[in-house]
Amino acid sequence: MAVVARRNLRAAVPGCWMFKKILIANRGEIACRVIATARRMGIATVAVYSDADEDAPHVDMADEAVRIGPPPAAESYLVIENIVAACKATSAEAVHPGYGFLSEQAAFARALGANNIAFIGPNPKAIEAMGDKIESKKLAQSACVATVPGFAGVIDDITQALRIADAIGYPVMIKASAGGGGRGMRVVSARKEIAENFARARSEAKSAFGEDRVFIEKFIADSRHIEVQVLGDKHGNVIHLGERECSIQRRHQKVIEEAPSPFIDEETRRKIGEWAIALAESVNYDSAGTVEFIVGEDKTFYFLEMNTRLQVEHPVTELVAGIDLVEQMIRLASGENLRAAQVGVHLEGCAIESRVIAEDPARNFLPSTGRLKTYRPPAQSDRNGVTVRIDSGVREGSEISLHYDPLIAKIVAHAPDRTAAIKAQSQALDSFVIEGVANNIAFLAAAMAHTRFRAGEFSTGFIAQEYPRGFTPLAPEGQSAHLFASVAAAADHVMSERKHAISGRMRPARKVRFARARALMLGKKRHDVTLDETNEGLVVRFEKTGHAHICSSDWVPGQPVWNGTIDGERVVVQLRPILNGYTLARGGFVADARAYTPREAELAALMPEKKSCAGSKLLRSPMPALVKSISVAAGQAVKSGETLCIIEAMKMETVLHAERDVTVDKINVKPGDSITVDTVIMAFA
Q: Annotated active-site positions, please?
A: 305
Cα–Cα distances in angstroms (integers) from residue 231 to residues 26, 41, 117, 132, 329, in the given order: 22, 19, 21, 19, 8
660: buried, middle or exposed (CB in 10 Å: 19+, 13-18, 0-12)? exposed
Neighbours of 549 (CB within 10 A): 21
50 phi/psi in degrees, rounded to 5: -90, 175
Q: Tell me how long the chain is.
A: 685
- Phi-psi label, residue 136: left if phi above 0, alpha if psi -120 to 50, beta otherwise: alpha
Cα-Cα-Cα-Cα torsion 114, 115, 120, 124, nearest 10 degrees, comes to -10
Neighbours of 605 (CB within 10 A): 12
SS (H, E, C) 509-550: CCCCHHHHEEEEEECCEEEEEEEEEECCEEEEEECCCCCEEE
Neighbours of 51 (CB within 10 A): 14
Nearest Cα to Cα of residue 430 among 222, 589, 644: 589
Neighbours of 341 (CB within 10 A): 9
CB within 8 Å of 37: residues ≥ 6 apart: 324, 326, 327, 330
Residue 418: half-sphere exposure toward Cβ, Cα within 13 Å: 14
**120 contacts 22 by C-beta, under 8 angstroms:** yes
Neighbours of 615 (CB within 10 A): 11
Q: Give the C-alpha separation, 129 to 103, whole Å.
A: 14
Q: Give the C-alpha separation, 356 to 339, whole Å.
A: 33
Q: Where are the alpha helices (DSSP H) in 148-301?
A: 158-168, 194-209, 266-282
